[in-house]
Amino acid sequence: MLQIPLLAAAAENILQDVSTLHPVSPPAESIRYLFYFVVAVALVILAVVWGVLFYSLARFRQKKNTGGASSPSGQPANSEITTAEPPQVYGSLPIEIAWTVAPGIIVLLLALVIVRTELEVRIKAPATTAGTNAVTATVIGHQWWWEYVIEQNGDQTVNVVTANELHVPASGGSDSVETLRPVYLTLKSADVCHSFWVPRLAGKTDLIPGKTNQMWFQTTQPGLYFGQCAEYCGAQHANMLLRVYVDTPETFAAWLANEQKPAVDDAAMREGRQAFLAQSCVNCHTIRGTTAKGKFGPDLTHLAARETFAGGMIKLNRDNLRLWIRDPQQIKGECLMPAFGLSDRNVDLITDYLMTLK
């Protein structure tokens, strides 16, 4: 009973369109093109191999001698079967060359197309969009949640730290430098290997400890795009879900402006705020504008502006958050947040306070 509302967000994620075949961004389109190209080549090879196979089966099958009588049992007698084999070929230089060169050409062709796709997806953003109106952000993978640091919004330098739900602007419909809003992500890991995969936006890119990777995407279609950590990273790997909100330019500007503000200081929530600041919460969580400056866990400054928490696993509402604060291990076993054995009163105070942090 307890699990049903808690799992709602994860279940919602499973039901979304996460098909590589429905791309909305150039890198994802490149990958779909590559997929269709490789499948087409494989189908041609299949057609040739099966063609030769079935031709040989028909052409060289054992045949009855015409005009012979069947034996009484209905089985043809040995003498009625053509036992002579077709001419046997022992070694043929032309055939050897043909079946070496043909696959060689196919492999070379595939390699060239793959290298071109790799360049489009990994390295090269369209020359017309480089710089100017791009959004750049760093993604840091944690067991088992995503940290986002938005650094640049066009020519505006920002420093917005948030978690689990990435907001980016949609590009305008035309191909002018002013309206295209490419998103450049720098990928890092705080612990083990993870992989950032939102199939409709771009291919998988790993987040590797001690290494920095890059990726980019860009779309004209606002919407919520779902994804999933795609590299096994421990017990709750399956509950490390990705949500990328592609906002209209106005919605994105409003979101970014709100995220840049310190946390609201609601006089009615002072008691809850004191309860939060008096507990160990502050060792791991930051709430800007307060003394909570911990860095291990998600930044909570605008927690209540999000739709989910715990790595996109759980819908954010008072009931779910309350259960989480009481004992996270009951919900997301082995996550780094322990149950602190807070009194019911403190759990209520802290939950109510956090729910005001829009």
Q: Contact, 344 vs 293, CB < 8 A?
A: no
The two tokens of residue 175 are: 């191909």
Of 134 and 207, which CB lies nearer to ligand CUA in the complex structure? 207
Q: Considering only 90-98, 99-107, 174-182, 228-236, which stretch makes contact with ligand CUA by CB under 6 A? A: 228-236
Orientation angle between helical segments 344-354 and 270-278, nearest 10 degrees: 110
The two tokens of residue 144 are: 């088992």
* 231 near ligand CUA (CB under 6 A): yes
Contact code string over 275-314 relative to ligand CUA, x by CB under 6 A: ----------------------------------------
* 240 near ligand CUA (CB under 6 A): yes
Contact code string over 257-276 relative to ligand CUA, x by CB under 6 A: --------------------
**Alpha carbon 339 to its chain's center:** 30
CB of 141 to ligand CUA, least distance (A): 6
* 237 near ligand CUA (CB under 6 A): yes
H helical segments located in 215-262? 249-260
Tell me the C-alpha distance between 168 and 113, whole Å.
Answer: 30
Q: Of residues 35, 54, 99, 232, which one binds ligand CUA by CB under 6 A? A: 232
- Footprint on residues 124-183 left by ligand CUA (CB under 6 A): 141, 144
Residue 121 DSSP one-character state: I
Query: 212-245 b/e with 16+ CB inside 10 Å = b?
Result: ebebbbbbbebeebbbbbbbebeebbebbbbbbb
Tell me the C-alpha distance between 139 and 151, whole Å.
Answer: 11
Question: 43: burial class by Cβ within 10 Å (0-12, 13-18, 19+)?
Answer: exposed
Contact code string over 182-211 relative to ligand CUA, x by CB under 6 A: ------------x-----------------
CB of 171 to ligand CUA, least distance (A): 28
Q: Considering only 130-138, 165-173, 227-235, 268-276, which stretch makes contact with ligand CUA by CB under 6 A? A: 227-235
CB of 312 to ligand CUA, least distance (A): 11
Residues of the shown chain interacting with ligand CUA in the complex, contacts defined by CB under 6 A: 141, 144, 194, 229, 231-233, 237, 240
